[in-house]
Amino acid sequence: MKRALTLISFGAMLAFASAQVLASGNIENGKQKAATCFACHGADGNSVDPQYPRLAGQYNAYLVQVLHEYKDGQRNNAIMKGMDATLSDQDIEDIAAYFSSLPTKLDTLQGHIQGD
């Protein structure tokens, strides 16, 4: 029993340490770097216009992936490609950290799905 508790504790420590390593963005730097994003997505990441996604509370890894996909052309959107063109990998990490740290106001998809 003692060995099982030790293994569980060790596993929990590894999981926590892994999460810290993966979250390499700086929230405060991200807030400054995301200033141009606010016009469409809102300063709090909760866009009021349904044509722009709400970014607040999204998974950090998802935001990083999407920003890279816009930057390298895997996702085709002229506005986002232009916005991402000058972002470094660290900028993307920081912006993702900022938006993922914010509380979401999305409690339903009503009015937030294209075609509604």
Query: Over the Cα atoms of the chain, what is R_g?
Result: 17
Q: Which tokens hold the place of 97?
A: 């950290």
Record: fold of 25-116: Cytochrome Bc1 Complex; Chain D, domain 2 (1.10.760)
- Cβ contacts of residue 95 below 8 Å, gap of 6+? 25, 30, 33, 34, 37, 63, 67, 87
d(CA 17, CA 23): 10
pLDDT at res. 21? 44
Spatial distance between the Cα atoms of 9 and 3, rounded to a whole number of angstroms? 10
**Mean pLDDT, the chain cut into blocks of 10 residues (116 residues total):** 57 49 82 96 93 94 97 93 94 98 79 57
Give me the residue spans of the domains in the chain: 25-116
What's residue 50's pLDDT?
86
pTM, full prediction: 0.73
Comparing CA positions, the residue from 31, 33, 53, 72 lying closest to residue 114 is 53
